[in-house]
Amino acid sequence: MTAENRISLSRHENKLTKSVKMYLRDIKGVIGLFILLVFIVMAIFAPVIAPYSPDTMTDDVLQSPSLNHLFGTDHLGRDLFSRVIFGTRISLSVGFVAAGLSAIIGVFIGSFSGYYGGATDDIISKVIDTFLMIPAFFLILIIVSIFGSNIMYIMLVIGLTTWPRNARLMRAQALSIKEKTFITVARSTGESNMRILFGHVIPNGIFPVIANSALQMGGAILTEASLSFIGLGDPNLTSWGKLIYQGRPYMTYAPWTIVIPGIFVVLAVLAFSFIGDGLQFTFNPKNKGEK
């Protein structure tokens, strides 16, 4: 038993290193990962990196970018560079939490539906299809405006409205995996359905969901930015979208107040789509061999 385990483990490791090598071969994926790492460092060490406190108001109102203020200042004389650095925290956490929630819900519902099949699957598939059709942004807009724009609500609502795509991916995986021989073997050795589901089906089929989650992180950051821009962002926190919202009235004399935070949104979304596409490429069974 142990020997067998070791063999499967080493094989797994082999597969992992192979996947990593495969991923690193794609330049876009590497760039995406690099941008993301820079942002994560910015978010964690924000107080160290930022030269000023993001909320200290000064008399230097709407100063253009200079050596003193790298990104200039806003209408209350606050240093925009520091505000953008601190904004990374909010925008990145929205991406991670919302997409994470979406992935968890999607994996559970999708794998259940695909693995058990039958009438449950029919109903769940219909629900997934219907939810996929709903324009999520408008639904999020309604929910946030009704229940309040606390950041927790925003993350929760984005997660709760974007899971159907993950569920669909996971369901397709579960449908094909459950026909495989090793599942039949597991079943014949008396493993319970739950163990098969969590021990075999989900671990073997989760890769497309991971790739899609990277894309959804970018999507969540965009959604949060849009909400903040309309004025429905968390009133106590400053995300990149909020910075654009605050800079808008002054944009004709101080274009940097909207252009710079926007560039950060673009970079983050770009990084996540590079990573997502890179992962998709890596996990695509068609690309097993050479590129």
Partner 1 sequence: MYRLSFLCSFLEVKGLSSLGRFIIRRTLSIIPMVLLIVAINFFIIHLAPGNPAQLISGLEQPSPEVIEALEEQYGLNQPLIVQLGLYYRNIFQGNLGYSFIYGTSVNGLIFERAGATILLTVTAAIIAFIIGTLIAVWVGRRKTKVLDSIFSVLAYIFYAMPSFWLALVLILTFSSTFKLFPTSGMFNVRESYEGFAKIGDVLYHLALPCATLALIQIPVFFRVTRSSIDQVHQDEYITTFTAIGISRKKIFKKYVLKNAILPTITIFGLTLGYAISGAALVEIVFAWPGMGRLMLDAVFRRDYNLLLGIYFVMAVCICLAILITDIVYALVDPRIRY
Return residues touching partner 1 (CB under 8 A).
28, 129-130, 133-135, 137-139, 141-143, 145-147, 218, 222, 225-226, 229-230, 241, 244, 248, 251-252, 255, 258-259, 262, 265-267, 269-270, 273-274
Spatial CB neighbours of 197, under 8 Å, sequence gap ≥ 6? 111, 112, 115
Spatial CB neighbours of 64, under 8 Å, sequence gap ≥ 6? 72, 254, 256
Instruction: Give me the least distance between CB of 104 and partner 1, in Å please.
Output: 21
Buried b (16+ CB within 10 A) or exposed e, 83-112: bbbbbbbbbbbbbbbbbbbbbebbbbbbbb
User: Do residues 236 and 148 lie in contact, with contact meaning Cβ atoms separated by under 8 Å?
Assistant: no
Q: What is the CA radius of gyration of the chain?
A: 23
Which is nearer to partner 1, 45 or 147 (by Cβ)? 147
Which is nearer to partner 1, 100 or 262 (by Cβ)? 262
Which is nearer to partner 1, 28 or 75 (by Cβ)? 28
Instruction: Give me the least distance between CB of 181 and partner 1, in Å please.
Output: 30
Instruction: Give me the least distance between CB of 258 and partner 1, in Å please.
Output: 5
The DSSP result for 150-165, as a single string, is -HHHHHHHHHHHHHHH
Which is nearer to partner 1, 202 or 265 (by Cβ)? 265
Instruction: Give me the least distance between CB of 11 and partner 1, in Å please.
Output: 30
